[in-house]
Structure 1
């Protein structure tokens, strides 16, 4: 006897889609971290989580704390990756940054919020666009 699931697809296809999405995000964050390191920044945290959310990358250029949101896409069907950093997302990143500062007992320091837009179009070389002081 065989059973065919109709409608939303079977669990294994959803799991594969989610896994490939997560793999793409991980690849983008790896490329972004390497990009920052090659430009002299020191990565302090990656994928730091708390109850309010997550920070993709926290780095420093030795004078400024640089909080980086990484957005990765495999095409432009949904627009430029950086466009996904909405006002609500920016506010959440600021709140989570306050938690990070408290968790690591960091006193006052200059903070900059950057966005790294990573394009991983199949068949092409990945590109990283760094928007310094994005918000």
Structure 2
């Protein structure tokens, strides 16, 4: 991946994290990588453990950032979440939620709570 893409990704994740913190969420982990997939952000929202997929789109020519989270991507996030819970047993009793945060080139945030379910 090119350095500019990494910088854009990191900046988008920081914008998303700041937005979530401003809405009362607490960051538990960031950029957790497994062979099966990656977790951009893991947060606590009250008693819910929230796995957050962050997506950036310069424009919506090929769909919005939120729409870019396809079923195969959802499956990867779900697998990564399962691995996270296996390695972090203290969170396994929490209710889980999968959110998507889309960010556009103007830094507009589109936060979809419960964007998909672990049954995908």
Match of 1:116 in 2: 101
User: Contact conserved, 1:71 with 1:82, CA < 8 A, in 2?
Assistant: yes
Larger Rg: 1
Question: Is residue 57 of structure 2 the alignment partner of residue 58 of structure 1?
Answer: no
CA–CA separation in structure 2 for the residues paired with 1:73 and 1:82: 9
**Which string of whole-angstrom CA distances, capped at 9 and with x for unpartnered residues, describes residues 66-102 of structure 1?**
1100001222232201111111111111111010011
**Which string of whole-angstrom CA distances, capped at 9 and with x for unpartnered residues, describes residues 33-75 of structure 1?**
0000011100001100112111000000131001100001222
Match of 1:8 in 2: none
Match of 2:110 in 1: 129
User: Contact conserved, 1:119 with 1:126, CA < 8 A, in 2?
Assistant: yes
User: Contact conserved, 1:24 with 1:73, CA < 8 A, in 2?
Assistant: no
Root-mean-square deviation over aligned CA pairs: 1.3
CA–CA separation in structure 2 for the residues paired with 1:83 and 1:129: 11
Matches within 5 A, 1:34-73: 34-73=18-57
TM-score, length-scaled by structure 1: 0.80
Does the residue aligned with 2:3 lie in a helix, a strand or coil?
helix
User: Contact conserved, 2:66 with 2:110, CA < 8 A, in 1?
Assistant: no
Q: Across the two proteins, how many residue pairs are aligned to each other?
A: 115
CA–CA separation in structure 2 for the residues paired with 1:41 and 1:130: 13
Q: 5+ residue gaps in structure 2?
A: none
Structure 1 runs, 4 residues or longer, greater than 3 Å off: none
CA–CA separation in structure 2 for the residues paired with 1:97 and 1:44: 13
Q: 5+ residue gaps in structure 1?
A: 1-14
